[in-house]
Amino acid sequence: MNPQYRVQNPVDNQVIETFDFATDQEIAQTLDRSAAAFSEWRKTTFAERAEIVSRAAEILRERSDELSSIMAQEMGKQLPEGAWEVNFSADILQFYADRAEKHSADVEIPGIQGGKAMVRRLPLGPLLGVMPWNFPMYQVARFAGPNLMNGNTVILKHAEICPKSSAAFEQILKDAGLPDGAFINVYATHDQISTIIEDPRVQGVSLTGSERAGSAIASQAGKNLKKCVLELGGTDPYIVLDSSNVKEAAANAWATRVMNSGQVCTGNKRIIVMADIYDEFIEELTNIAKSYSQGDPQNPGENQYFPLSSRDAGENLEKQIDDAKSEGGVVHTGGNLLEGGAYFEPTVITDIPVGSDPYYQEFFGPVAEVYKVHSDEEAIAVANNSLYGLGGSVFSHDEERAKKVAAQVETGMIHVNLGQAFDPALPFGGVKRSGFGRELSVYALDEFVNKQTFYVND
């Protein structure tokens, strides 16, 4: 892996532009600027903050084409998906601009003898966000939106392959009127991340990324007595209990799986299908995967697949598929990384033995991993036999049956008759090794605030 911050087009693996790592002096200046900005930003009213954050949402929409093109070049996201992401990011910022003041109002505690008490939600200080490459705008919006509205300041360390996305987001906030230092994009090294977390002025850290990265960040945060929020991996179950139209069910499952080239934390990584429709489902899924051809993310067409974020990501996925095959997994189509760039063939794999190492791994790419089950109870058991617990979904014509199964799936999010719902008002987060804490919704406003008890004696 090239260690520099860079734009490395996954279509052909060519490095287009590089960016220097921050110097230690620049990191020190970043910490000073963030702390200085906090001393003033915390004093602003919710209305003043909302005006700026709302304007940032407008600018995001205005620059949708530019931002989508940046993401396509940096990590291979096709333009329509990039436009959707930018607009959803704007929705998120607007959500917090509209709701933060009401949610964060003082709350009186009733029934206190001898005095009056209330809970105030107060900003904490500078926060560090460590963000991944798969949704370069959305991930930043869902961290920055609630925390800027809370009166905190933000230091952003984005993925090394998304330097232009992170710089563009910083510029949008500046153009919206955010004071200098309230949001700082920094091209930090891993050692410098530790320096930032150790600084006593920094009050918390949020990471979206791999389990390995989450463990490292949580360890550092814990050592320094800092709160952290982690959104890590997932092997989300997608349970198909029945279908009167198996072709349509397979098509829906495939469309969900290949969103963002399969690089979605909440993607349907394990498709669990009832035995009576399993064979037809696999046949249809395989036919769909075979029908796809290589596409250009800057000029996408129908039934096309696009590169993964990097050649390294493709090589890792290919090794995972090979390991699964060696354990007994059957590849019905695909399974190979093409020469040159980061294009990975659309893949359908079955028969990975439950309990094997590959069974517990997350396949981050266009890989449909399918399991046959014979009862609702077996479907639930397979769904819950995971190290992760992020999201999931259950499908059935019998809604009550689907709801009964869904209620027993151990995840932070579960859906009935839908792959995933997207709305800023819905809490996002997981259990088990998928992390802890919640993003999106008003719950995100509670993660990095001082819930202060304010007592006045009679």
In DSSP terms, which residues pair with 271 in a beta bridge? 238, 370
**Which pLDDT value is given to residue 417?**
98
Q: Which is catalytic among the residues 74, 81, 85, 265? A: 265
Q: Is 265 a catalytic residue?
A: yes
pLDDT band at 106 (very low <50, low <70, confident <90, very high): very high
Query: HSE of 94 in the Cβ direction (CA atoms, 13 Å)?
Result: 13
Question: Mean of the pLDDT values across residues 406-432?
Answer: 98
The arithmetic mean of pLDDT across residues 9-33, rounded, is 97
User: What 8-state DSSP symbol labels residue 358?
Assistant: G
- Amino acid 3: pLDDT: 67
Instruction: Please give the Cα distance from 207 to 129 (Å, whole number).
Output: 6
What does residue 92 show for φ and ψ, rounded to 5 degrees? -65, -50
Asked if the model's pLDDT at residue 2 lies above 80, the reply is no
The mean per-residue pLDDT over the stretch 28-47 comes to 98
Nearest of 67, 63, 34, 69 to residue 180 by alpha carbon: 34
How far is 406 from 75, CA to CA, in rounded Å? Answer: 34
Average pLDDT, the chain: 97
Task: Answer yes or no: is pLDDT of 306 > 60.
Answer: yes
* Residue 173 to residues 150, 158, 308, 343, 398, Cα–Cα distance (Å): 16, 16, 29, 34, 47
User: What residues contact 400, with CB distance under 8 A and at least 6 apart?
Assistant: none
* Among candidate residues 349, 364, 319, the one with its CA nearest the CA of residue 337: 319
Express each pLDDT in 65-96 by its tens digit: 999 999 999 999 999 999 999 999 999 999 99
Residue whose tokens read 């800023």:
424
- Tell me which residue of 398, 285, 289, 302 sits closest to 344, measured CA to CA: 289
CB 305 within 8 A of CB 294: yes
For helices 246-257 and 275-291, the axis angle rounded to 10 degrees is 60
Angle at 288 between CA 282 and CA 290, to 5 degrees: 100
For 212-265, the pLDDT digits (tens) are: 999 999 999 999 999 999 999 999 999 999 999 999 999 999 999 999 999 999
**Range 274-298 average pLDDT:** 98
| Mean pLDDT computed over 89-106 | 98
- Band of residue 1 on the pLDDT scale cut at 50, 70, 90: very low
Distances (CA, A) of 355 to 66, 67, 351: 45, 42, 12
pLDDT above 90: percentage of residues in the chain: 99
Told to judge if 108 belongs to the known catalytic residues of this protein, a careful annotator would answer no
Q: Tokens for 447?
A: 């993660």
Position 164 scores a pLDDT of 98
- pLDDT digits 0-9 by tens, 189-202: 999 999 999 999 99
d(CA 148, CA 100): 10
Q: What is the pLDDT of residues 137-167, one digit of tens each?
A: 999 999 999 999 999 999 999 999 999 999 9
Sequence-distant (6+) residues with CB within 8 A of 99 are 442, 445
Which residues face 450 on adjacent strands?
122
Cα–Cα distance for residue pair 456/156, rounded to 1 Å: 39
Catalytic residue among 231, 284, 345, 447: 231
What single string gives the DSSP state of each residue in 128-189?
EEE--SSSTTHHHHHHHHHHHHHT-EEEEE--TT-HHHHHHHHHHHHHTTPPTTSEEE----
Strand runs (DSSP E) across 11-137, as ranges?
14-19, 107-109, 115-123, 126-130
* Ramachandran angles phi, psi of 284, nearest 5°: -70, -40
* 438: pLDDT strictly greater than 80: yes
Distance between CA atoms of 273 and 343, rounded to whole angstroms?
28
Give every CB contact of residue 367 below 8 A, 6+ residues apart in sequence. 257, 262, 269, 317, 321, 334, 347, 348, 349
319 pLDDT band (50/70/90 cuts)? very high
**Mind giving me the DSSP string for 401-431?**
HHHHHHTT--SS--EESSS----TTS-B--E
441-455 per-position pLDDT tens digit: 999 999 999 999 999
Helix (H) or strand (E) run with residue 83 in it: helix 79-103
**Number of Cβ atoms within 10 Å of the Cβ of 266:** 24
